[in-house]
Amino acid sequence: MREILEAVAAGELTPAEAESKLAGYATTDAGRFDAAREARSGVPEAVLGSGKTAGEIGDLAATAIETTGRAIVTRIDAAGAAAVRHELKATASETTVRWDERANWLVATDADFERPAIDAGVGVVTAGTSDAVPAGEAAMIAREMGADVTRIDDVGVASLARTVDAVDRLREQDVLIVAAGREGALPTVVAGLVDTPVIGLPVATGYGHGGCGEAALSGLLQSCTALSVVNIDAGFTAGTQAGLIARQVAAVREND
Amino acid sequence: MREILEAVAAGELTPAEAESKLAGYATTDAGRFDAAREARSGVPEAVLGSGKTAGEIGDLAATAIETTGRAIVTRIDAAGAAAVRHELKATASETTVRWDERANWLVATDADFERPAIDAGVGVVTAGTSDAVPAGEAAMIAREMGADVTRIDDVGVASLARTVDAVDRLREQDVLIVAAGREGALPTVVAGLVDTPVIGLPVATGYGHGGCGEAALSGLLQSCTALSVVNIDAGFTAGTQAGLIARQVAAVREND
Amino acid sequence: MREILEAVAAGELTPAEAESKLAGYATTDAGRFDAAREARSGVPEAVLGSGKTAGEIGDLAATAIETTGRAIVTRIDAAGAAAVRHELKATASETTVRWDERANWLVATDADFERPAIDAGVGVVTAGTSDAVPAGEAAMIAREMGADVTRIDDVGVASLARTVDAVDRLREQDVLIVAAGREGALPTVVAGLVDTPVIGLPVATGYGHGGCGEAALSGLLQSCTALSVVNIDAGFTAGTQAGLIARQVAAVREND
Amino acid sequence: MREILEAVAAGELTPAEAESKLAGYATTDAGRFDAAREARSGVPEAVLGSGKTAGEIGDLAATAIETTGRAIVTRIDAAGAAAVRHELKATASETTVRWDERANWLVATDADFERPAIDAGVGVVTAGTSDAVPAGEAAMIAREMGADVTRIDDVGVASLARTVDAVDRLREQDVLIVAAGREGALPTVVAGLVDTPVIGLPVATGYGHGGCGEAALSGLLQSCTALSVVNIDAGFTAGTQAGLIARQVAAVREND
Amino acid sequence: MREILEAVAAGELTPAEAESKLAGYATTDAGRFDAAREARSGVPEAVLGSGKTAGEIGDLAATAIETTGRAIVTRIDAAGAAAVRHELKATASETTVRWDERANWLVATDADFERPAIDAGVGVVTAGTSDAVPAGEAAMIAREMGADVTRIDDVGVASLARTVDAVDRLREQDVLIVAAGREGALPTVVAGLVDTPVIGLPVATGYGHGGCGEAALSGLLQSCTALSVVNIDAGFTAGTQAGLIARQVAAVREND
Amino acid sequence: MREILEAVAAGELTPAEAESKLAGYATTDAGRFDAAREARSGVPEAVLGSGKTAGEIGDLAATAIETTGRAIVTRIDAAGAAAVRHELKATASETTVRWDERANWLVATDADFERPAIDAGVGVVTAGTSDAVPAGEAAMIAREMGADVTRIDDVGVASLARTVDAVDRLREQDVLIVAAGREGALPTVVAGLVDTPVIGLPVATGYGHGGCGEAALSGLLQSCTALSVVNIDAGFTAGTQAGLIARQVAAVREND
Amino acid sequence: MREILEAVAAGELTPAEAESKLAGYATTDAGRFDAAREARSGVPEAVLGSGKTAGEIGDLAATAIETTGRAIVTRIDAAGAAAVRHELKATASETTVRWDERANWLVATDADFERPAIDAGVGVVTAGTSDAVPAGEAAMIAREMGADVTRIDDVGVASLARTVDAVDRLREQDVLIVAAGREGALPTVVAGLVDTPVIGLPVATGYGHGGCGEAALSGLLQSCTALSVVNIDAGFTAGTQAGLIARQVAAVREND
Amino acid sequence: MREILEAVAAGELTPAEAESKLAGYATTDAGRFDAAREARSGVPEAVLGSGKTAGEIGDLAATAIETTGRAIVTRIDAAGAAAVRHELKATASETTVRWDERANWLVATDADFERPAIDAGVGVVTAGTSDAVPAGEAAMIAREMGADVTRIDDVGVASLARTVDAVDRLREQDVLIVAAGREGALPTVVAGLVDTPVIGLPVATGYGHGGCGEAALSGLLQSCTALSVVNIDAGFTAGTQAGLIARQVAAVREND
């Protein structure tokens, strides 16, 4: 902070510039859509589709494209995706839209947008199709942050051989996100087999006592391995955390 | 019931005998110590040491010896064990006392007592020493019910090779009790490897969220394998359930 | 494991065969539908209908028939059942379809399928019609595993005479599954009357505090009898656990 | 209220008298010890011993004797009981002290005290010695309120015959308090056998999930019989509720 | 029991008669609708409408009329009520149908049915319209059991004067049911003003933490007055408990 | 912020002064003891005695005196109070020490310290002695902040007349803190009688379900009156919130 | 109270007048709509729209206008708002209706209604649009109580600069309501920056563990600043509490 | 796996060697102390002192030194530390012992032990002394794994300026562990200021609702930033996860 203040004292910076710099030191405010979030915290701003009307999602996506060249929407259904496509057509710029019907995310980019490329691998591991939504969110955002994402699916502890067969692929990654449905044992088993950081992602499957992902979450928190954890179904958080780790690794690679 | 009533009608049974038989059809009451429990439900009556004074434990143990030839006490400390030894010396009959200092149980038998012998194997599986108390309780009571009990220790999922190495021993058993501390993944992994009935026994290890065995319990209830479960630290219940299963198997063996 | 490795060393097994054997030692992977599950763990693979579209259920059922000769679907409604019938008609082979409208399960078999037959009895006990779904699931899967299943219904503790009247039928079984709605007292009362292993199956009835089966589950876990327990509404788990116990008993019978 | 006001208008009552009457219409305040509680709500004021020093208990007991002729103390240990005896000796009046070492209550009365006598029976039912403290509290306070209290012990559902044998004694009572430890099934079974009002009293036994009486409490709340319930270990509340019901019955008897 | 057995021994009773008597000693089974419930436990059997189709409700109501002269249905909506009317018209006997649209209950009786009349008063107290359903259920069943029921509405603690104004009416009752929504303070305040037994009935109002009646329930269980409690929204249970208490009072009145 | 920056640009402020001002804009850091807290947030820094050794408390108290002229310690026992006295004697300056043995707080001031005086009344209302600790903490800190604090004790809802009798004193206050033990009904009743802001302070009394203040807390959160709430036993928080309100009122008075 | 009674004794008041005054001392009952609430407790009575039919809302709004000149409805949707407009047109008097489509409240006033004006500022602070409903409710009711309400939006802790930028506006208020979604950190950060009383308002955002506002609520209760708290989404309560505080401040201003 | 098998087929490996290799592929078993853990999963094995006798800790520490050259013990008190020193003196080899009295860990190394050195920075951030134990554990294990650990203390959100002042130091780290006591807001605020991965470490401070770290944990799980989380007080897990991330970064640095 003192550097900026000295620059003001020295007349090298106007007070207005200094204010803006001091503000930007924490954040820059581009209205409701936090276009400066990526610069500040390394995580691209995304629109959470659930709880918004198709119209609102379309508006926010257009703003996102305009300010950052890319719109990322999670938990968006077919109607929302259609609204985004419609809204983006109405604007002049050419955009490419990808929509994952299963994992419920949409990414739109304009012609000039160039995704960052991080030379580090993020593995996203699941036991089955019931993990598709949060695992898909995690993979998407890690990829949008630039990481090299690999899906390693159908690795369930109830069929241990599958887990063991996947060991080599697991070990090749720089960081792993492991989805955990039902009793949530998979991340613990994986973390015992690799020396890579593992992020446990509890999935809201199951019913009865400990259902809705609570058993998986508490199991991950109790794991005797070096797991860190995100909230139930928080695929976006797991993916951004993995993306930030990948960035640290890649920053080193680039530095050399 | 009608048989008994017809026997009364036929004068083959006095009303008093019938009443006793009809009562005994559910239970016979030998005072506070339910000496008839084993005959009725296949499970020997045991004294829960915790919450009782050493004197009370000694008295109940003496009654148990007197009525059934054997006293089984769980959750008993050194003082309780000493009290039982002292009390039993004071009585005429010769008794043998075994006390497991680690698993906190005591079994005393008089000279004439003959433990039943069931030709069926119960495996008690643990990940480490923190499972010692409930696993020890389970093993003791299954053995006292007559089963052939095998301990399979140090089988933790964080070191998967140990689990895999134990597969043959696991498959040799007629029924398995698998202790589950921390995140409780072991019983699920084991149940995926064997075609034997597995009883999950959550252990009150761990701290923080899901501590005191709650994470393990909810994980076991959510397991996608064919597990059944008992309460946290309920080694006695797990052992008796395994013992009853072993009895069913053995009854068939004996029938042939 | 060493046997396989020695066979490789001796040239009796190619490395590829050995790899496959070592993999199969835990499981064989027939795609998403785990056709090898029954061989490995004694429990037939089943399709959970809830959360799947009718089309997806139909596809999985067809795969199941193809690979194992039988499709078992739980929590399937009329639309799902229709989809399965339609899908199976489209395939060449002749299939028989049974659908239980009340307990919401469907079992389809092709002409060549032969259900295993286990010479051991599983009793499924309920207090009333609100237990129909989980009890029906439990009975179905135990029967599909080959057990001789008997339903013992309308045995509620609020009308104790009914319970007492059922004692003889209860005692004839090799293993009992007892459904527990509301306060969950029935399994405890039953377990006090028989010397057979009892599996408590909590049912998600009730409302207010302890509703949705939580009171029943915690009551079963606290029971002073030798009960083991499955999760709320986990009829499938209770049935498979009972089936595995029945298999152990029957294996002995067949051995002789 | 209008009656009092008209009496004031008519000069039959001074304003001060009226104020006192209007206040007394709800309660009269005899300092910290609510000596007027019995007159107002039918329940004698009692001193809760736990959390108080022996000296404080002694002081309050002396005040109680002085203002109402009787001191009732619950959850009092040997030291507290000694302090009360010592304090009461120091006062002039002759007092009789009863202390129940097991149920931890003490009742002291002066020579002139005459316990009310209610011509109605309260049954206090337990399964075993672990119910002794709350059941003892309940029995004591119901008796102090004047009811004719009968203890019906060792009636556990795991030995159903004992329950059935007690039916006649259960039916003779005007109101029943049934203690419920562990899984809490007993009050439901009893309420299915009698047409008397039953108050379920959960007891803080058990361990693990649902321990400390929570399983029993939720089971009682879910019971499909006409039970009402009090909090865990709230023997005093159960006893006073039963005493109030007995008073209603007795009031009618006396009216005739 | 011995009396019956001696009658058999004496030939005064055939074994079949005895069996029937011994069974009836607890209950008589009139199929799924427990027609004998009232005789045994003093509480009329009722049909819980929720979770049943209109057709099922209609059938059960017809059976109820046939076996007991009266059908009581709770939690029944307009469609269910129409179905009952339709079903009952189809049967020969003349029936009278009352349906409470607000509290969602229906009572139908045939021409010969005569409701018992108990000379004892049950007060049902509410704070407002949100208590209407459980309070209405409670009032209905207490009335059907024969009690003299009085509604005392709009008595909320946030307007204390209303509570105080109701004191005389509250004191006139033999037993009170007090509904408790939101924070559940009303039953405690009422129980401090009267010497009548009070049954607290928590109502599932409120939102956020402690919502759905949990705050009210736990408040009632913690009350320092002599309250007993039923589960959240368990108006039927509260009403039957009050009815049983009223029966005890009335039995005395009739005895004289 | 811009003002400061412009002053720097104008040379009126050195960069170092500006930095300090910008930092102080939120806080000034006087080491571990936040001496600037009162200036910044209006709440004096206090030392939480529990979990600290007597020596640590003594040290912190001395630092507090040195930097602010006053030391406030909460949850301090006799040993801690002695340590503080001893430590303060060792320092040169004369200090006055007040220790409340019941509410477990200690306030020490040096000779020059002058407590602020706020012309606004804070009422602290309790039902009985079990509320003494948190209510005492609340009263102390509000008084130390300068408010005119009045204790209104023994106002319990189970004896409604006492509550009604206190209405005038309640209405005289500018803000009320109402302690809520057991079922927590008192703040709701009080808030219905006054038009003053009421802060509900749940107290960790009670046992069983909803014990340790949880019933009171959830009841306060559900109250249909305009209550705000603090955590269980958080007397200090309640007192400071009341103190801040009193300051707002007083600021206005002083402004005139 | 004595004043009224002495006036009766003196004949200055008829008994009927006195009764009415004593009743009004707590409240006056204008039927179901508590028209006297504002006079008694300073908080205007409002109609909770959720759970009521459009017709019922319309009726209650008309009554409110009639008795108090204003109708306040919360949680009201478009249909309800239309019903109110329709109902009010049907009545003779001219009314003005404001409906906030986003925050779901409606306020209608007749021509003569004059809102109180309190010379004190209430700030309502939010992090984003997901806080709109409870924050909007809070702002509306504080404004209807007469406070000078300022919205301070888009102040989220994840972009700290925005929070810091708002400090001046935050410090200008007499009392602050700070909405707290997700992890609920904002009120703690704000309370560390100002010396104004802060009321934390948890918002039911979030999912998974701690979702629905529970994490925010428990975070606010644990805050080490001088926060008071209301229930999740209880914007109305927060607004009335702030309004009462503002009234205290303003009363002082007016007194001068 | 196939490589090993082909080596066996080629006679390059004996079956015994192959078995050992295949076992080692997951783990090598050096008795109870898992000496191979570090090689397999990158995390050194540590001894959890709590729940063990001083003698047991001493024995395990000696084994650890013997097999890996280093003993790491967590949650060890003075007696445990003395026992370790005593035990290690008894053995021949020279050892260096460091014991952190505050954070309760001990690390002993023999003369030949060389700690790995990772060229990557781990920051451990706390708000105050109450975070000392888990933060100290985290810092110790990350350092033992070779990371360059920096402590950044006294950064609490209630004094925001301190947090802002620490931004540069925060941004210099490759990965941050941020302790979160009370309401747990600090990690969210920090993660909004940096683009480094942040691991939230909830600390078991606080009391009442959400106490013992539960509020902090749920707040972290709900955070709208890219946090991952470990269990309450799980400093060891946080430290190992940070250490694994640091290893990934360092591996890249070394590769170049």
Task: Find the closest chain D residue to E39 by CA distance.
Answer: D195
Question: Which residues from chain G sit within 8 angstroms of residue A34, using beta carbons?
Answer: 159
Return the bridge partners of C105, or none: C100
Mean pLDDT, residues G218-245: 95
Residue F220 confidence (pLDDT) above 70:
yes
DSSP one-letter string for chain B: -HHHHHHHHTTSS-HHHHHHHHHHTT----TTS-TTHHHHHS----EE-TTS-HHHHHHHHHHHHHHHSEEEEES--HHHHHHHHHHHHHSSS-EEEEEETTTTEEEEEETT------S-EEEEE-SSGGGHHHHHHHHHHHHHTT-EEEEE----GGGHHHHHHTHHHHHT-SEEEEEE-TT--HHHHHHTT-SS-EEEEE-----STTTTTHHHHHHHHH-SSS-EE--TT-HHHHHHHHHHHHHHHHHHHHH-
Which residues numbered 183-202 in C keep a CB inside 8 Å of some CB on A?
A: 202
Give residue D31's pLDDT band: very low, low, confident or very high (50, 70, 90).
very low
Return the bridge partners of B198, or none: B176
Mean pLDDT, residues H133-162: 91
Residue D107, C-beta contacts closer than 8 angstroms, at least 6 positions apart: D70, D71, D72, D73, D97, D98, D140, D144
Return the bridge partners of D108, or none: D71, D97
Per-residue pLDDT, F29: 32
* Least-confidence region, from A171-185, B35-49, G43-57: B35-49
For A194-248, give the secondary structure using H, E and C: CCCCEEEEECCCCCCCCCCCHHHHHHHHHCCCCCEECCCCCHHHHHHHHHHHHHH
Per-residue pLDDT, G25: 38
- The more confidently predicted of residues G197 and E35 is G197
* Least-confidence region, from A200-204, F37-41, F202-206, H82-86: F37-41
Q: What is the pLDDT of residues F36-70, one digit of tens each?
A: 677 677 889 899 898 888 888 888 898 888 888 99
Q: What is the pLDDT of residues D132-162, one digit of tens each?
A: 999 999 999 999 999 999 999 988 887 777 7
G161 touches chain A (CB under 8 A): yes
Per-residue pLDDT, F256: 56
C168 touches chain E (CB under 8 A): no
Residue G68 confidence (pLDDT) above 70:
yes
Mean pLDDT, residues F1-14: 70
Mean pLDDT, residues D184-189: 92
Inter-chain touch B26–D128, beta carbons under 8 Å: no
Structural tokens at position B28: 């016979």
G26 touches chain D (CB under 8 A): no
Per-residue pLDDT, B239: 97
Mean pLDDT, residues E103-108: 95
Residue B187, C-beta contacts closer than 8 angstroms, at least 6 positions apart: B178, B180, B198, B200, B201, B220, B223, B225, B227
Per-residue pLDDT, C253: 58
Give residue F25's pLDDT band: very low, low, confident or very high (50, 70, 90).
very low
Write out the CATH class of domain F121-255. Answer: alpha beta
Per-residue pLDDT, D24: 41
Residue H146 confidence (pLDDT) above 90:
yes
Inter-chain touch D219–C221, beta carbons under 8 Å: no
Inter-chain touch H24–B161, beta carbons under 8 Å: yes
Residue H92 confidence (pLDDT) above 70:
no
Task: Find the closest chain F residue to E221 by CA distance.
Answer: F209
**Sheet of H70-74, strands arranged across:** H47-48, H70-74, H105-110, H95-100
E161 touches chain F (CB under 8 A): no
* Least-confidence region, from A91-95, D216-220, F236-240: A91-95
Task: Specify whether the CB–CB gap between G112 and G95 falls below 8 A.
Answer: no
Mean pLDDT, residues B83-87: 90
Return the bridge partners of B123, or none: B150, B176
**How much is the pTM?**
0.88
CA gap A210, A187 in Å, rounded: 18
Q: How many CB pairs under 8 A join D and G?
A: 33
D203 touches chain C (CB under 8 A): no
F19 touches chain A (CB under 8 A): yes
Mutate to test the interface with G, among A230, A231, A233, A237 (most CBs of G within 10 A): A231
CA gap H152, H149 in Å, rounded: 10
Task: Specify whether the CB–CB gap between E83 and E54 falls below 8 A.
Answer: yes
Per-residue pLDDT, G165: 79
- The more confidently predicted of residues E137 and F5 is E137
Percent share of chain G, pLDDT over 90: 48
Residue C232 confidence (pLDDT) above 60:
yes
Which SS3 state, helix, strand or coil, does residue G212 take?
coil
Inter-chain touch D227–E243, beta carbons under 8 Å: no
Residue G27 confidence (pLDDT) above 50:
no
CA gap C225, C227 in Å, rounded: 6
Residue H30 confidence (pLDDT) above 70:
no
CA gap B224, B210 in Å, rounded: 20
Residue C25 confidence (pLDDT) above 70:
no
Q: What is the pLDDT of residues B156-181, one digit of tens each?
A: 887 777 787 888 899 999 999 999 98
Q: What pairing do the DSSP bridges indicate for beta strands E148-152 and E105-110?
A: unpaired
Per-residue pLDDT, E26: 33
- The more confidently predicted of residues B233 and H21 is B233
Per-residue pLDDT, C145: 96
Chain F nearest C-alpha distance from A82 (Å): 42
* Least-confidence region, from B25-34, F7-16, F51-60: B25-34
- The more confidently predicted of residues F255 and C176 is C176
Give residue F158's pLDDT band: very low, low, confident or very high (50, 70, 90).
confident
Residue C30 confidence (pLDDT) above 60:
no
Mean pLDDT, residues B113-121: 91
Mean pLDDT, residues B55-60: 87
Mutate to test the interface with G, among D3, D4, D8 (most CBs of G within 10 A): D8
Per-residue pLDDT, E2: 62
D80 touches chain C (CB under 8 A): no
Per-residue pLDDT, F24: 41
Q: What is the pLDDT of residues H202-248, one digit of tens each?
A: 999 888 999 989 999 999 999 989 999 999 999 999 999 999 999 99
Per-residue pLDDT, H33: 63
Inter-chain touch A27–G154, beta carbons under 8 Å: no
Task: Specify whether the CB–CB gap between E130 and E203 falls below 8 A.
Answer: yes
Question: Which residues from chain E sit within 8 angstroms of residue G37, using beta carbons?
Answer: 159
Task: Find the closest chain C residue to A182 by CA distance.
Answer: C231
Q: What is the pLDDT of residues E190-240, one digit of tens each?
A: 998 899 999 999 999 888 999 989 999 999 999 988 999 999 999 999 999
Residue B228 confidence (pLDDT) above 80:
yes
Per-residue pLDDT, C1: 56
Q: What pairing do the DSSP bridges indicate for beta strands E198-202 and E228-229?
A: parallel
Give residue E149's pLDDT band: very low, low, confident or very high (50, 70, 90).
very high
Which SS3 state, helix, strand or coil, does residue D150 take?
strand
Task: Specify whether the CB–CB gap between B1 and E20 falls below 8 A.
Answer: no
Domains of chain C: which residue ranges? Answer: 2-110, 121-255
Task: Specify whether the CB–CB gap between D37 and D14 falls below 8 A.
Answer: no
Residue type, E62: A
CA gap H205, H181 in Å, rounded: 6
Per-residue pLDDT, B219: 95
Question: Which residues from chain H sit within 8 angstroms of residue C15, using beta carbons?
Answer: 2, 5-6, 8-9
Assembly ipTM: 0.85
Phi and psi at residue E28, to the nearest 5°: -120, 135
DSSP state of H232: T
One digit per residue, the tens of pLDDT, for chain A of length 256 reads 566 667 777 777 776 666 555 544 333 332 346 666 776 778 898 998 988 888 888 888 988 888 889 999 999 999 999 999 998 888 767 899 999 988 999 999 998 899 989 999 999 999 888 899 999 999 999 999 999 999 999 888 877 777 878 888 999 999 999 999 888 899 999 998 899 999 999 999 888 999 989 999 999 999 989 999 999 999 999 999 999 999 999 876 565 5
Other CB atoms within a 10 A radius of the CB of residue B18 amount to: 24
- Pick from C130, C161, C207: CB nearest E26: C161
Mean pLDDT, residues E114-143: 93
G178 touches chain H (CB under 8 A): no
Mean pLDDT, residues G161-179: 89
Structural tokens at position G215: 């994490």
Q: What is the pLDDT of residues G80-104, one digit of tens each?
A: 999 999 888 887 678 999 999 889 9
Question: Which residues from chain A sit within 8 angstroms of residue G154, using beta carbons?
Answer: 29, 32
Inter-chain touch E183–F210, beta carbons under 8 Å: no
- The more confidently predicted of residues D1 and D223 is D223
Per-residue pLDDT, F203: 96
Mean pLDDT, residues C104-125: 93
Per-residue pLDDT, F143: 97
